Amino acid sequence: MNRNGRWQSWVKLGGFSTAGVLSAVLVINTLSVPVRGSTVTYQAQFSSVEGLNVGNPVTMNGIRIGRVDSIRFAPNTDGTSRADVDIEVNSDFTLTSNVTAAVRYGDMLGARYVALSDPGGAIMDVSTDEPPARLAAGGVIPLAQTSPAVDLTALLNGFKPLFDALAPEQVNTLTRGFVETFSGQAQTLTTLLTQIAAMTGSLASMSKTGIFTQLIDNMSTLMRTMNTRQPQLEQMLTGLNRLSAAVTSGDRQFEMLIDQGNAVLATLANTVNNSSAAYGDTITNLNSMLQTWQPNTEEFTKLLTRLPEFGDAINRTSSYGGFVSLYLCNFTLKIRSHEANIFGYTHSEVCQ
């Protein structure tokens, strides 16, 4: 009984392991998207393959015929660089020497694929006036016959102001049209133009509400103001130019100023914080002084007027040297109604 139970456990474990391995193989096979049947490897040279990854499909006329095998960086003879992309193509499909390759968008999420276009023998070789030769295994599709990936992200970012003025449904429709058009689906170009016309009509209806009119009026006012202030604007630009030249000069004075500015500001803040009470008393005393000063403005003005004369007198007095000559012209003692002049009433020429 125990032996049979052990065998049943082993059978269950084996079945579970087999199912797990088969599931893993199925998942790996699905994700790797292998090419069925025998394959031939070619190399395509691109100036840019942004967003393209190993395993992305290779199509011809909308039919998947292969996959991207590897992507590597390579230099050009003129000093620039390129991307060499190895592609696996089903051997049932024959490529000619004039085949073209382009990196296109596969969906709205940014998936890329390589689209091949091979006219085959329908187009004659201009140099030999014969059908193009077959591209041998391992052959190279040169840069002249490839188209790099279109950066739709940068393109759509340029339409951000337009998208801000549209409804979300209109934005999705317009974006889908851009993706399909730049992915090579030429039949969607008419739809894209129709959508742009509809969006333009929506913007025209918005202009009736006065939004664009107000914007243009504001811009006109701004330009008129700048025109009237042209000399001041030129002075400002000249000053900014000089300031920029001084800042970017070779010396390190500005850098030292920035480095030491933090310490200076910290010291100043600490000083102000510690002396806040003294500053308050100073402002209070200054206010009292100004209140006393204001009613006596006329007398203060007279004082200021006489200061130059006083200064000239001081200069004359000290003209004999670095000293001041003092003369005692009169010395009178007075007690009530009695007074006496100690030195008499005769004065020198200085006192006259």
DSSP 283-319: HHHHHHHHHHHGGGHHHHHHHHHHHHHHHHHHHHHTT
pLDDT of residue 124: 42
Tokens describing residue 305: 């007027």
Cβ contacts of residue 160 below 8 Å, gap of 6+? none
Average pLDDT estimate for 109-115: 83
Residues in the chain: 352
Nearest alpha-carbon partner for 69 in 87, 52, 96, 84: 87
Average pLDDT estimate for 326-344: 68
Query: Cα(240)–Cα(226) distance, rounded to whole angstroms?
Result: 17
How confident is residue 121, by pLDDT bands cut at 50, 70 and 90?
very low
Q: Report the greatest alpha carbon distance in the chain.
A: 156
CA dihedral 250, 251, 253, 255 (to 10 degrees): 50
Query: Cα(112)–Cα(56) distance, rounded to whole angstroms?
Result: 7
Mean pLDDT of the chain: 75
Do the beta carbons of residue 137 and residue 126 sit within 8 Å? Answer: no
pLDDT at 284 over 50: yes
- Phi, psi angle pair for 73, to nearest 5°: -90, 140
Do the beta carbons of residue 16 and residue 24 sit within 8 Å? Answer: no
- Cα separations (Å) of 81 from 21, 84, 143, 306? 43, 10, 11, 86
Per-residue burial over 206-243, b if 16 or more Cβ lie within 10 Å, else e, is eeeeeeeeeeeeeeeeeeeeeeeeeeeeeeeeeeeeee
Secondary structure of the chain: what % helix, strand, coil (to 5)?
55, 20, 30
pLDDT at 119 over 60: yes
E strand spans, the chain: 39-46, 57-60, 63-75, 81-90, 100-105, 112-117, 140-141, 146-147, 332-335, 338-341
Q: Looking at residue 37, what DSSP letter applies?
A: S
Highest mean pLDDT out of 12-16, 39-43, 191-195, 257-261: 39-43
How confident is residue 246, by pLDDT bands cut at 50, 70 and 90?
confident
Average pLDDT estimate for 147-167: 68
How confident is residue 320, by pLDDT bands cut at 50, 70 and 90?
low
Partnered with residue 335 across adjacent β-strands are: 338
- What totals of helices (H) and strands (E) does the chain contain, helices first? 10, 10
Nearest alpha-carbon partner for 55 in 66, 68, 43, 64: 68
Q: At what angle do helices 253-274 and 276-293 cross, to 10 degrees?
A: 80
Tell me, rounded to whole angstroms, the distance of Cα 55 from its chain centroid. Answer: 34
Tokens describing residue 339: 């007074």
pLDDT at 126 over 50: no
Q: Say what the pTM is.
A: 0.42
